[in-house]
Chains A and B, each alone.
Chain A
């Protein structure tokens, strides 16, 4: 094994006999573009709704719930699909999330949620994971589209004006109140069903 590595290293160290420096540079440059483009394309392909719902666990559970909501179909037709809410847009956080997504590949292979019953059993835990991440990032993905400072309170309804002003002044973030905006809330049998909006629901670890 060591011999093999030594041979490779020796070959790499040697200056090129046949090819010019320019040719090597150009080939390297083009190969770099192809690699970088391919990497980004792969990342963007895995960043589409079509890709997400290619797993039946997603298509038969959360996608169906999402189709009833305002983010799927609304007056203006401006939508948010899976990556808009679940994958950060800036490069560093996006790549970090993509690396964490290997956990999802693992669970797909293990079939942790591949039946509706298994999914419901884990729904609370999965939901709390997402809520916790959103809370930690101050609902970064919501703020991809919704800018608090640009909200026109003249256009909002009575309850929205009341709750937004109170919430933001109280230092709350979008996800504190807008849970269940895209997917069904988990059944919280052991907790009061009205606890969706209370602080109890997403206490860490529970």
Chain B
């Protein structure tokens, strides 16, 4: 009896050592670090820089909120002040040579047209984003509709 117990325990101990003692790969659990050992140094992500000011970027979808073709670091949009509108408002866009904010941004939820930008469209970066020079994660051959590209 003792012998069997001891053998069983030894087997268990050996199995545990084998599974956990090797110290590296645990096949079915992966952390955010990927398949990397806990004791190896991970490569930090490369810091991407915002794209420089450029011409407007062609849309991919007709209803797409256009991308922001310039960096917007430090631009604040809060209750008191909207930095984007200092160039893109109807009052300022000509002087700033910028795209004016679309008329659709003046409509409230019921479709009534307001005298100034609607509160639901006031926070620009909820839809409009600047770009970074990052390559697509998945290669693809997506083409916008002919109405956009003209081809």
Measured CB to CB, the residues of A under 8 A from B are 68-70, 157-160, 162-163, 180, 184-187, 192-198
Contacts and interface: CB of A to CB of B under 8 A. Distances in A.
Interface string B10-27: 000000000000000000
B96 interface: yes
Interface residues of B, number: 23
19 contacts: A68-B74, A69-B74, A70-B74, A157-B52, A157-B53, A157-B70, A157-B71, A158-B70, A159-B96, A187-B79, A193-B81, A193-B82, A193-B85, A194-B91, A194-B92, A196-B81, A196-B86, A197-B92, A198-B92
B121 to A, nearest CB: 14
A180 B81 contact: yes
Interface of B: 52-55, 70-71, 74, 76, 79-83, 85-87, 89, 91-92, 95-97, 116
A186 B92 contact: no
A162 B70 CA distance: 14
B97 A162 contact: yes
B53 A163 contact: no
A197 B83 CA distance: 10
B37 to A, nearest CB: 35
Contacts of A194: 82, 85-86, 89, 91-92
A137 to B, nearest CB: 24
Given A187-B79, A194-B89, A194-B92, 17 more contacts: A68-B74, A68-B76, A70-B74, A157-B53, A158-B55, A159-B96, A180-B83, A184-B80, A185-B81, A187-B81, A192-B89, A193-B85, A194-B82, A195-B91, A196-B81, A197-B87, A198-B91
B99 to A, nearest CB: 12
A197 B53 contact: no
Contacts of A180: 81, 83
A186 B54 contact: no
Nearest to B86: A197
A198 B79 CA distance: 19
